[in-house]
Structure 1
Amino acid sequence: MEGIIDKGYAERVPQEELEGNPGKKWYLPHHGVYHPQKQKIRVVFDCGAEYKGTSLNRELMQGPDLTSSLVGVLIRFREEQIALMSDIEAMFSQVGVSQENRDFQRFLWWPNGSVEEPPVEYRMTVHIFGATSSPSCANFALKKSSDNTSDLSVKNTISRNFYVDDMLKPASTVTEGKTLAEGLIDTCKKSGFKLTKWISNTRPVLEAIPEEQRATEVKNLDLEQDDLPTEHALGMQWNVESDVFEFRNRTKEKPATRRGILGVVSSLYDPLGMAAPALLPPKMLLQQLCKAKLGWDDDIPGKQCKVWEKWLSDLPKLEESFTVPRCIKPEYFGDVDVAQLHHFADASENGYGAVSYLRLIDKVGTFMHSN
């Protein structure tokens, strides 16, 4: 909380403004949420908390959805050999709330965090995580930041390669990667957005980015000798050194019931459908159990239980031996002259599937295909 106040994200309500305007004040409850991986605590304001049948979120308009498609950002991330990834530090907190609306974000806190003193009134000066309107306002401000540059590549990146505060962008050459990173940092900075946690699969590009702005995992690496780490790219496991997507088996042991099977299948994050064939058997099993009208917490019959146990025993193979190249083009592939999409689909009583192949031909006649 001290950090929020020190950075100007919140301010103490002046004595002369404590009364405020009738009907123009709202008080938010708050609590701390600890992130075990990051070993940090975040202050969360409950904008859904109700008083006399209403809440702040009920009174706020959501606004237009300006967030780029997650699948679209991930697919565009695969277009070229060089990859760059970064995120905006405290994105929502960089977008201010107008003075006349700040009293709707009041809260109580003890001066200097001392519970021995009476709590006093503060108010947030910026958009907060959890408010219905915050995503639309923050995304609008980010897209508006592209007005700070005439560089079309930077403009297009801000428009199409951000998913909320995460930026995933490919580049075709080292020079392009360096120029793009520099342009994005400068353009976003002019609107108060600080791009941090930079990482790239190409060492010369990474070396061109100031060390303090690089991801923690690469700050202390010897870029001439050490392997690059595995990072999360919008939730997907990206092995930066080998430049492939991997799957990590983080599933916890669940009971052999419909609820347990659904919990395991749902925990395998696969937004691009790369592991869809491996996930079809348990989904078919769930279909059978549903048709048999088995309860959510009933033990599944012996025959189906054997199928489930066999699939579970094979699940580690997904982590051990299945990878997908991040880039859809082979190394040294030339400028694309022809690009074609070929789609195939089929269905049965148990399931259906679809696959798309990308066929590329470069200007010297080399061709490749990828699905």
Structure 2
Amino acid sequence: MLLIGTDAPQAHIPLEVRSGRHDQPYAIKTQLGWAVRGPVTDTTTQKSANVNFQQSADVLLQQQLEKMWTTDFDDKVKVERNSMSLEDKKALNTMNSSLRYENGHYKLKLPWRDEKAVMPNNLTLAHARLEHLKRKLARDQELHKMYTASVTDYIQKGHAQEVTHIESDSNRVWYLPHHPVTNTNKPGKVRVVFDCAAKYKGISLNSQLLQGPDFMNSLVGVLIRFRQEPVAIAADIEAMFHQVRVEDLDCDALRFLWWPEGDMTQQPRCYKMLVHLFGATSSPSCTAYALIRTASDNAHMYKPEVVNTVKRNFYVDDCLKSVSSDEKAIELAADLQSLLRRGGFRLTKWLSNKRDVVESIPESERARSIMNLSKSDSSPVDRALGVQWNVEKDELKFKVQLSEKPITRRGILSIVSSIFDPLGLVAPVTLRAKAIVQNLCRQKLSWDDPIPEKDTYEWKQWLDTLPYLESVSVRRCFKPQDFGTLKNAQLHVFCDGSQLGYGACVYLRLKDEKNLISCSLVAGKSRLAPIKRHLFQDLNFQEQLSLPGFIR
């Protein structure tokens, strides 16, 4: 065995050790990664061996845990978040140089890491995954029917087409495995998800694509602006990713196998997607870029408020906007539909807390009176706690939907990490659950070990109280009804810290010309104190929660 880098001992300091029985190898994690050491069988005889690498589920759980610790307070300043890396600049250059407007839609190249890279022929992987899909669909006729309808819809709408010439001039021909994903909130529908992360010979489509700049607005910012004025409107872009086309030559990297008309008795044929995919690492950036260009390219035809609404009041494909009067809302809704149609986007599922505004929208374009604000930018998830907008009462409410999970570190983390409270309106409640998770980490229990009786009791007690949050409501608009002309506005920030954690909340104090005063909770934040903390760290909590840091 050859050891490289022994002159840099800090690179080999064990960060974590995982051992088996006394006669088994053990794994050591250093700054260079994981290494396995220990006895092997007789090495005098030459034998062939297969080596397989898989990312441990425990590693993924640890990443999920770290994400939960850092969700509430974003320590990055705004300038740092908005700055672009060299890769982001390269992706943006690709978007700028390749952007075309064709048949009512924008068309963009895929932002490749290396334009000259050659991708291996992964057709065998696609066939193997298709066989797995065939067995799954054969067991569920209803799923087969819905999945076939979804693929057929792609073809009929021009989002996909059959490949008639298998040979291609492109050096990046790639076949994407695909599978169905259902959402309990959308019964009767199934989404076709293309596995852009599927690897063949160490390469996947996502590994060859640049992610691109983050053009997404802050969800907290969008929600706070949504609460500014008394008249609220909301809408959704239908199939947003599929409204942005992909450059023709790049479509060969988006091939997939499917049976004609879903008939699994026939030989599968080759198709290719012509649009940006849900699941491709570059799709959020490319589609957001096309949306922004729709607004800027047509800015001369619309009022600044219409253009700014597209740029500042969308989170992914959801539009959330508040204005001062019904008339402004009706005009804005019409202008937004007109503007986005120029980019090939259709705004639908309209909602408003004002009847006149709703009646100005065609009935086929309206949504129901409850809007789920628990947006997920990935696959559909079941939220243990989610936020909803009750349109009729014009209130923000909480929806509790608990699923059965084992009382282990794994099961508890699954529930706690599914809590969605972006404004931190019930942060004191969710902090208690995070403290339970932290305490289990402190005890160094394995992910699936039974937890101590004391912690079990505390966890069950927290679960029993969670449904009471459904009775909690917060007024959407900061201004109460019949509030007059705004005379004065103040932000009041309260913060505190302890050995358990630290938190802050912001209230908005408004005064009108009649000296009527209204106070509203804007947002709250909380974070657990680190398991390993320095002596003076508690004294720094107040400094960390200073007004500039929290408001950003």
Rounded Cα–Cα distance in structure 1 between residues aligned with 2:312 and 2:248: 32
1:300-319 equivalences in 2 (<5 Å) = 300-319=451-470
**Structure 1 counterpart SS, 2:477:** coil
Asked which structure has the greater RCO (Cα within 8 Å, sep 6+), the reply is: 1
Aligned CA distance change for structure 1 residues 245 and 21 (closer, same or farther; 3 Å): same
Instruction: String of CA shifts for 1:231-269, please: whole Å, max 9, x gaps.
Output: 212442111111111112211243444334333333332
**Structure 2 counterpart SS, 1:278:** helix
Deviation at residue 97 of structure 1 after TM alignment: 0.8
Q: Bigger shift: 329-338 or 157-166?
A: 329-338
2:200 counterpart of 1:48: no
User: 2:476 — aligned with what?
Assistant: 326
2:501 counterpart of 1:351: yes
**Structure 2 counterpart SS, 1:317:** helix
1:52-91 equivalences in 2 (<5 Å) = 52-91=201-240
2:334 counterpart of 1:182: yes
2:178 counterpart of 1:30: yes
**Contact 2:170-2:252 within 8 A present in 1 as well:** no
2:239 counterpart of 1:99: no
Rounded Cα–Cα distance in structure 2 between residues aligned with 1:369 and 1:297: 46
Deviation at residue 93 of structure 1 after TM alignment: 0.7
Q: Which runs of 5+ in 2 are unaligned?
A: 1-150, 376-386, 522-552
**Contact 2:374-2:420 within 8 A present in 1 as well:** no
**Contact 2:170-2:249 within 8 A present in 1 as well:** no
User: 2:294 — aligned with what?
Assistant: 145
Aligned CA distance change for structure 1 residues 24 and 299 (closer, same or farther; 3 Å): closer
Q: Which runs of 4+ in 1 moved over 4 A?
A: none
Aligned CA distance change for structure 1 residues 288 and 233 (closer, same or farther; 3 Å): closer
Q: Bigger shift: 288-297 or 94-103?
A: 288-297
1:220-231 equivalences in 2 (<5 Å) = 229-231=369-371
TM-score, structure 1 normalization:
0.89
User: 2:438 — aligned with what?
Assistant: 287
Rounded Cα–Cα distance in structure 1 between residues aligned with 2:466 and 2:170: 60
**Contact 1:166-1:234 within 8 A present in 2 as well:** no
Deviation at residue 75 of structure 1 after TM alignment: 1.3
Aligned CA distance change for structure 1 residues 169 and 14 (closer, same or farther; 3 Å): same
**Structure 2 counterpart SS, 1:359:** strand
Rounded Cα–Cα distance in structure 2 between residues aligned with 1:161 and 1:280: 29
**Contact 2:243-2:275 within 8 A present in 1 as well:** yes
Rounded Cα–Cα distance in structure 1 between residues aligned with 2:502 and 2:247: 51
User: 1:110 — aligned with what?
Assistant: 259
User: 1:224 — aligned with what?
Assistant: none
Rounded Cα–Cα distance in structure 2 between residues aligned with 1:206 and 1:22: 49
User: 1:127 — aligned with what?
Assistant: 276
Deviation at residue 295 of structure 1 after TM alignment: 4.0
> What value does the CA root-mean-square deviation take over the aligned residues?
2.0
**Structure 2 counterpart SS, 1:72:** helix
**Structure 2 counterpart SS, 1:131:** coil
**Contact 1:201-1:243 within 8 A present in 2 as well:** yes
Rounded Cα–Cα distance in structure 2 between residues aligned with 1:294 and 1:121: 49
Deviation at residue 363 of structure 1 after TM alignment: 4.4
Deviation at residue 294 of structure 1 after TM alignment: 4.0
Rounded Cα–Cα distance in structure 2 between residues aligned with 1:305 and 1:63: 44
Larger radius of gyration: 2
Q: Which runs of 5+ in 1 are unaligned?
A: 218-228
Of residues 204, 210, 232 in structure 1, which corresponds to 2:356?
A: 204
Aligned CA distance change for structure 1 residues 26 and 280 (closer, same or farther; 3 Å): closer
User: 2:414 — aligned with what?
Assistant: 263
TM-score, structure 2 normalization:
0.61
Of residues 493, 508, 511 in structure 2, which corresponds to 1:361?
A: 511
Of residues 16, 19, 43 in structure 1, which corresponds to 2:167?
A: 19
Aligned CA distance change for structure 1 residues 125 and 306 (closer, same or farther; 3 Å): closer
Aligned CA distance change for structure 1 residues 21 and 311 (closer, same or farther; 3 Å): same
**Contact 1:249-1:268 within 8 A present in 2 as well:** no
Q: Percent identity?
A: 51
